[in-house]
Amino acid sequence: MSAAKDEVLEVAGRTVTISNPDKVFFPKSGYTKLDLVRYYVAVAEGALRGVGGRPMALKRFVNGAEGEAFFQKRAPTSRPEWIETVELSFPSGRTAEEIVVRDAAQLAWIINLGCIDLNPHPVRAEDLDHPDELRVDLDPVPGVPWAQIRDVAMVTRDVLKDFGLVGWPKTSGSRGMHIYCRIEPRWTFPEVRRAAVALAREVERRAPEIATSRWWKEERHGVFLDYNQNAKDRTVASAYSVRPLADARVSTPLRWDEVPTCEAEAFTLATVPRRFADLGDPSKGIDEAIGSLEALLELSAQHEAAGFGDAPWPPHFAKQTGEPSRVQLSRRKREDRPAGPKGEVPPPAPGKTVGPTGRRRTTMPLIEIARAASEAEARAGLQRWRARHGEVWSHLAPSDILVDSMRGRNTTWTRIRINLRNVPESERPPQEALEVDYDPWAGYQGPDRSGQLERPKRKRTTPTDA
């Protein structure tokens, strides 16, 4: 069989070679790698408004949207001289040279690597310590209708306005919505996150039936405002990112008057270029609408004075000042223990050392069903469990099925847990052996996420070229 022909494009005054241009990236819709590149070139003005001048992690789908993705923080060593990079440091203490995109040619070049969506940091390359973007990620629990997400977005807009900020909405391209605010690059990552926590709590106060700021999934309801997307090293799919879904859905900027009636499935690789050509970019003007976090940080101080402490951080971050304890209650010094410990640590599945919540206590009756390399494998395991426990399943609400995307070394994996709170106590099944038992760290013997060397280095493999 003859080798696939490369496609050579002229983009922004540069020559960009697209390898394997006919490779199908979206099997159900038939879109190829070249279709994806041409999409990004068509909406480059808007895409660059979201990603331009920012270091970005590369999330590479070398086998298309249905294949396994891997994260690549370090820029490829073999790259054109016109690809810009900047060195970032991470909470673990490690550093990496990440790519910075500023024009359509650089954008096309990274899409050729197998990137489908764009995942920039909330900082500019010129100042890596002070974000210029507050990110509000509206993440619904399972079963929440799209209309409720839109309602929470409108409440969030009002809260931002009341605290002196202009919100710019977009669909996430997945299950939720994003609202971005440009801010002065004056505050550190922890300060921006503090402002995001205060915002989440205020939205929850105004709309307690439909919004939540609770970090632990089993405690959530409605739409979660994920404040931790503002922590250092977190990235979010930016404006005009195509998402790795079957219909090639796009994270699409909206006007606020569109939000109450918008439908996420209307925005795809096929429809967004025409929308962009006809209507322009609704996020045009975001870079001029720069606001201050002072009012939200003042609200945060009021929360603290009223007894609200910090909210939980992602588990791979170092313990933060004022953060609720992550130490198992039974292991704390006696004088540091609260008078009445609440909840318990759920038991692990047979053969495992940690259970559904790790070492964290919870008041919810949780069991773990699967740990799998892909969501499809995990859900197949869930269906096997369901077939054995039909009576239990009849008691469950959609929000009782907790599907977690977990970070591995360079890829994500999927964990599924079940909250048995709606099942009569006498009918609750015990923790059984996992339906799928995948260990993303099997054989890996390098430093963990905190930078501690707990294992010798494993052999690394070179990913297949895109």
Q: Rounded to whole angstroms, how far apart are CA atoms 30 and 24?
A: 6
Q: Rounded to whole angstroms, how far apart are CA atoms 145 and 152?
A: 11
pLDDT at 464: 46
Do 91 and 75 meet the contact criterion of CB atoms below 8 Å apart?
no
Q: Rounded to whole angstroms, how far apart are CA atoms 405 and 426?
A: 31
pLDDT at 363: 81
Q: Which residues of the chain have pLDDT under 70?
A: 1-4, 91, 316-342, 409-410, 443-466
Q: What is the pTM of this model?
A: 0.78
Do 116 and 59 meet the contact criterion of CB atoms below 8 Å apart?
yes
**All structural domains of the chain with their residue ranges:** 344-466
pLDDT at 345: 80
3-state SS, one letter per residue, for the chain: CCCCCCEEEEECCEEEEECCCCCEEECCCCEEHHHHHHHHHHCHHHHHHHHCCCEEEEEECCCCCCCCCEEECCCCCCCCCCCEEEEEECCCCCEEEEEECCCHHHHHHHHHCCECCCEECCCECCECCCCCEEEEEEEECCCCCHHHHHHHHHHHHHHHHHCCCCCEEEECCCCCEEEEEEECCCCCHHHHHHHHHHHHHHHHHHCCCCEECCCCHHHCCCEEECHHHHCCCCCCCCCCCECCCCCCEECCECCCCCHHHCCHHHCECCCHHHHHHHHCCCCCCHHHCCECCHHHHHHHHHHHHCCCCCCCCCCCCCCCCCCCCCCCHHHCCHHHCCCCCCCECCCCCCCCCCECCECCCECCCEEEEEEECCHHHHHHHHHHHHHHCHHHHCCCCHHHEEEEEEECCCCEEEEEEEECCCCCHHHCCCCCCCCEECCCCCCCCCECCCCCECCCCCCCCCCCCC
Q: Rounded to whole angstroms, how far apart are CA atoms 301 and 324?
A: 17
Distances (CA, A) of 137 to 150, 330, 385: 12, 34, 32
- Cα 79 from chain centre: 27
